[in-house]
Amino acid sequence: MLRGALPARAGRRTNLGLLVLLLVAGGTGVLAFGVGTPLPSRLVAAAHGAAGLGLLLLVPWKAVVVRRSRARTRGRRDPTAAWGLAVLVGLTVVTGLLHTVAGPGLAVGGVALLQVHVATAVGTAVLLAVHAVGSRQRPRRGDASRRGLLRAGDLAVAAAALWGAVEGGLRLTGAPGARRRGTGSHERGSGDPAAMPVTQWFTDAVPDDAGGTVELVAGGRTTRLRAADLDRGDTVTAVLDCTGGWYATQEWRGVRLDRLLAGAGLPEDGSVDVVSVTGYRRRLPLADAGALLLATHCAGRPLSAGHGAPVRLVAPGRRGYWWVKWVRRVEVVDAPWWLQPPFPLT
Ligand X SMILES: Nc1nc2c(c(=O)[nH]1)N[C@H]1C(S)=C(S)[C@@H](COP(=O)(O)O)O[C@H]1N2
Q: Which stretch binds ligand X (CB under 6 A): 88-96, 157-165, 194-202, 289-297?
A: 194-202
* DSSP-assigned states of every residue in 305-316: TTTTTT-EEE-T
What angle (nearest 5°) sits at the alpha carbon of residue 248, between those of residues 242 and 252? 105
Q: Of 252-291, which residues contact ligand X (CB under 6 A)?
A: 276, 278, 280
Nearer to ligand HEM, 132 or 236 (CB): 132
Cβ-contact 193, 260 below 8 angstroms? no
Q: Which of 128, 324, 330, 332 binds ligand X (CB under 6 A)?
A: 324
Return the residues of window 271-330 that contact Mo ion according to CB under 5 A.
Answer: 320
Tell me, what DSSP letter sits at residue 140?
-
Binding marks (x or -) toward Mo ion, 205..244, rule CB under 5 A? Answer: -------------------------------------xx-
Which residue lies nearest ligand X, judged by its C-beta? 320
String of b and e for 317-333 (b: at least 16 CB within 10 Å)? ebbbbbbbbbbbbbbbb
How many residues lie near ligand X (CB under 6 A)?
Answer: 21
Helix (H, G, I), strand (E, B) or coil at 220: coil
Q: Whose Cβ is closer to ligand X: residue 131's or residue 325's? A: 325
96 binds Mo ion (CB under 5 A): no
201 touching ligand X, by CB under 6 A: yes
Alpha carbon distance 219, 227 (integer Å): 21
Number of residues that bind Mo ion (CB under 5 A): 4
User: Rounded to the nearest whole angstrom, what is the least distance from the CB of residue 317 to ligand HEM in the complex?
Assistant: 17
- Identify the residue among 37, 69, 190, 200 touching ligand X (CB under 6 A): 200
Nearer to ligand X, 96 or 244 (CB): 244
Contacting residues toward ligand HEM, per CB under 6 A: 15-16, 18-19, 22, 25-26, 29-30, 32-33, 45, 48-49, 52-53, 55, 65-66, 69-70, 72-73, 77, 79, 82-83, 85-86, 89, 92-93, 96-97, 99-100, 114, 117-118, 121, 124, 131-132, 135, 137, 163, 166, 180, 184
Q: How far apart are CA 93 and CA 100, in angstroms?
A: 11
Which of Mo ion, ligand X, ligand HEM, none lies near 18, with the C-beta cut-off 5 to 8 A by kind? ligand HEM
Binding track over 239-278 against Mo ion, x by CB under 5 A: ---xx-----------------------------------
Provide the 10 A C-beta neighbour count for residue 153. 11
* DSSP letter assigned to residue 208: S
Interatomic CA distance for residues 227 and 92, integer angstroms: 43
By CB under 6 A, what part of segment 154-193 binds ligand X?
A: none
Positions 218 through 237 that interact with ligand X (CB under 6 A): none
Min. distance of Cβ 242 from Mo ion in angstroms? Answer: 3
Within the chain, strands assigned E span: 107-108, 111-112, 186-187, 213-218, 221-226, 234-242, 246-256, 271-276, 281-285, 293-298, 301-302, 312-314, 327-333
Nearest-5° Cα angle at 20, 14 to 21 = 90
Instruction: Name the residue nearer to ligand HEM (CB basis): 45 or 309.
Output: 45
Q: Measured between alpha carbons, how far is 74 from 64 in angstroms, rounded to an integer?
A: 15
The whole-angstrom separation of Cα 236 and Cα 10 is 56
